[in-house]
Amino acid sequence: MSAQAAAYRQRLFRTGASDTLPITLRHQRIYILPTRLGLAMASVVLLMLVASVNYRLSLGYALSFILTGLFASCLLNAYRNLSGIELREITAEDCFAPGPLAFRVEVGCQDTRKRYSVEIGTAHTAALTDIEPGSSGVATLHAEQVERGQHKLGRLTIASSFPLGLWRSWAYVHTPVDSYVYPTPETPAAPFPPVAGTSEKATQANGLRSRATHSGDFDSLRNWQPTDSPGSVAWKAVAKGKGWYSKDFASATQDEALLLRWDELPASMPLEQRLSRLCAWIVQARAQSRACRVVMPGIESINLQGGQMLRLMRYLATIDRDADDRT
């Protein structure tokens, strides 16, 4: 019985994040109730009707009924304004605390009716948009002042009080969309910790061995990208017809590789501050394209490329707030 109740709850209020996109709003999902203005107008119409009855005002009846007809057509149009709206994609981009965090909801409709003043929002934020027929638009939900961590989008409410604000129609859509908010990078950033290779601690086990570098020498070839400078193109390979490659000088042209260890951060610093500092270092290292290795309990990142970087940052974002005693 409780399972059934839960199923009804899910169907009525979409409490669980179990919808899969794309979703087209139909009558199964659309709710309509009068707004406060609608209730006020309705009571005025009732008052008018009572006056018309008592004074036998035929035109009073007519006026009240015209307004009642307006209510009815608004109800129909409130439904039609939401029905047929298609939620195509919801994406979220990670950001640094304190935000703003942006969820992008791609909406559209395939029929020929324009949708007016559609409010797409969650419990915390909302965006208002019109949807042109046959096209798709993006509503961006901004959340200001977000804290570090994993943020769920939560249940989306697609609502509208079109056409006259007498009725409010709405629908719930709940899809599992997450966004990660990274720690705030420390400003100004603290200087990098001493690089192992240039110091006397060269013998340290975890240090990266420095490589002798020669100008023009390169580590590897990677796929050419339009942004690469002409000097880095592997022209020999191009001439041989092997395709376009770029020479990767990353580790060669930069300073010695960095080693960022969580354990080396002063344990007396609060957790958030330590995270901020580490985050600032990582961001800076990536901006300078320095080779960098991050070692933390539970994760080890050997460079700051693509997936590695994302994994690392999301790990930083989700470190338990209460785990201050982590060593």
Partner 1 sequence: MTGKPAATNLLGTQAIQLLACMVLLAQLPMMFHVPLWLSIPSMLIVLCRVVKIDNSIISNPVLTGSLTLAGAIAIFVSYGHVLQRDPCIAFLFMLTGFKLAETRFRNDATLLVILCALLLLTQFFYWQSIVAAVLTLPGVVLIGLCLFQLQRHPMQWHRREAVNITAKLFLQGMPVALILFLAVPRLNPAGWGDGSSATTGLSDKMSIGSVSELVKSPEVAMRVEFDDKIPSPWQRYWRGPVLSGFDGSNWFALPSSYTRGRPAGAIEPDARVTDSTNYKVTMSPSYQRWLPVLDTPITAPVVLGSTAPATLNRERVADSAKRLTRNTQYTAKSGLSDRFSANAPGPEYLITTASNPQTRNFAAQLRARTNDDEALIQHLMQWYNQQAYHYTLAPQAINSDNAIDDFMFDTRQGFCEHFASSFVFILRAAGIPARVVTGYLGGEQNGEYMIVRQSDAHAWAEAYLNGNWVRFDPTAAVAPERVNQGIESIADATSSLARFLPKSVTLRWDAMNYAWQRLIIDFDRSSQTMLWKWLGIEQIRGWMIVATVFGLILIPLSLLNFLNKIKRRPAQTPVERQWRLFCQRMTQNGFTRETGESAAAYVERIGSEWPTHRCALDTVLNLYHDGQFSESGSADAASHQRIARAMKQARRSIRPPG
| Site residues for partner 1 per CB under 8 A | 27, 37, 40-41, 44-45, 47-48, 51-74, 76-77, 84, 111, 116-117, 119, 121, 123-126, 128, 130, 157, 159, 161-166
Write down the least CB distance from residue 100 to partner 1, Å. 15
For 1-24, give one letter per residue: b (16+ CB within 10 A) or e: eeeeeeeeeeeeebeeeebeeebe
Instruction: Name all contacts of 13-19 with Cβ < 8 Å and 24+ positions apart.
Output: 13/155, 13/172, 14/155, 14/172, 14/173, 14/174, 15/155, 15/174, 16/174, 17/152, 17/154, 17/155, 17/174, 17/175, 17/176, 17/177, 18/174, 18/176, 19/173, 19/174, 19/175
Nearer to partner 1, 132 or 217 (CB): 132
Write down the least CB distance from residue 308 to partner 1, Å. 27
Residue 185 DSSP symbol: P
Closest CA to 283 of 198, 195, 192: 192
Measured distance CA(117)–CA(75) in Å, rounded: 16
With tokens 């979409």, the residue in question is 14
Write down the least CB distance from residue 54 to partner 1, Å. 4
Write down the least CB distance from residue 133 to partner 1, Å. 13
Nearer to partner 1, 48 or 313 (CB): 48
Nearer to partner 1, 164 or 221 (CB): 164
The three-point CA angle 39-45-51 to 5° equals 140
Nearer to partner 1, 37 or 250 (CB): 37
Nearer to partner 1, 152 or 236 (CB): 152
Nearer to partner 1, 114 or 242 (CB): 114
Nearer to partner 1, 121 or 193 (CB): 121
Residue type, 164: L
In contact, 89 and 21? CB cutoff 8 Å: yes
Write down the least CB distance from residue 70 to partner 1, Å. 5
Write down the least CB distance from residue 243 to partner 1, Å. 22
Write down the least CB distance from residue 11 to partner 1, Å. 20
The distance in angstroms from the start CA to the end CA of the chain is: 48
Residue type, 243: G
Nearer to partner 1, 56 or 240 (CB): 56
Write down the least CB distance from residue 112 to partner 1, Å. 10
Measured distance CA(55)–CA(64) in Å, rounded: 14
Using CA of residue 301, residue 304, residue 310, residue 312, what is the dihedral sign? Answer: positive
